[in-house]
Amino acid sequence: MTSNSSPSPLDQLPPEWPDRGCSSFHTVGPVRWHVQQQGDGPTVLLLHGTGGSTHSWASCTAPLARRYRVVAIDLPGHGFTQPADRDARTRQPFALTDMASAVAALLRQLDVRPRFAVGHSAGMPVLMQLALQGDIAPQHLLGVCPALVPPPAWYVQLVAPVLAAVVESDAVAAGGAWVAQRTPLVRLMLESAGSALTAPQLARYEWLCRQPDHVHAALSMMSRWDLPALLREAATLHTPITLLAGRADRWVPLAALRRAAARLPAATLVDVPGGHLLPEEHPAEVLSRIEGP
């Protein structure tokens, strides 16, 4: 007998995927979101960075869930968050303000009001945009190796729009996934971040980078964001902010992050040992600063 039932979205997750038992899927507008929730108490919202997914927080979620309601989200196109249907693919929210508004709509549907919000790398600009829009009002924002080092203005105005037309194409995404599957590119790229990952941690990134949609989303985010505009507006934020920097981070160098932090009156910069992937490499450093410096 042939079953007519559709496969569950959960079937997309490898059996050993971190916190798989906490996963659920929620369609809001053009996006079908992958969300992981666990624990009870005040809410901690976790947003990963470009090219990451909920797995980036795997070393942090169990300790947090002993005290908090932990909500981790795959950002649009990343991990297991995908277009709601075929027609929605061209309407995915990859620009920073669009992505923040889409996350806000999801949070409203889930009734998530974070007391603490933590963003790794590009996840921090999304949280800052959410706060600027009034969609979240946490007691504390924690940026872990936050991607707040903007390119020069000439790049944003002249190069990025042209580059976006190239890197966001399906052919480039498929080519990137092909290269990830057949070469050590992902391993070499992650080694350049200055972090030492375990074999299982590395294998998760390698698996993700073999998925063309994931590659397309990462490239689209990098090509569409206007960080200088965000930093100008973020100077008005009153929410206490901690920026946690890895001294060995080669992707967001400490000196450049210090200059960005100086433009944010509410921010405190703390540097610790480690590279760009601190939530996986040194989770205790992240956990100790959720509530503030």
| pLDDT tens-digit series, residues 131-182 | 999 999 999 999 999 999 875 454 444 444 544 554 556 765 666 665 667 6
For the segment 33-54, what is each residue's pLDDT rounded down to a tens digit? 999 999 999 999 999 999 999 9
Q: Where are the domains of the chain?
A: 16-150+227-287
Least confident range from 3-7, 255-259, 288-292: namely 3-7
218-228 residue pLDDT tens? 888 877 888 88
Q: How far apart are CA 253 and CA 248, in angstroms?
A: 8
Q: How many CB atoms lie within 10 A of CB 130?
A: 25
Annotation: CATH topology of 16-150+227-287: Rossmann fold (3.40.50)
Write down the pLDDT at residue 185.
76
**Amino acid letter at 255?**
A
23: left (phi over 0), alpha (psi -120 to 50) or beta: beta
What are residue 44's DSSP bridge partners? 70, 116
- By the 8 A CB rule, do 91 and 20 touch? no
The DSSP line for 106-165 is HHHHHT---SEEEEETTHHHHHHHHHHTTS---SEEEEES----PPPHHIIIIIHHHHHH
Min mean pLDDT across 21-25, 101-105, 192-196 is at 192-196
Q: What is the pTM of this model?
A: 0.91
* Residue 192 burial (CB count, 10 A): 12
Q: What is the DSSP letter of 239?
A: S
Residue 180 has what pLDDT? 66
User: CB of 9 within 8 A of CB of 34?
Assistant: yes
For residue 288, which amino acid is it? S
d(CA 178, CA 147): 27
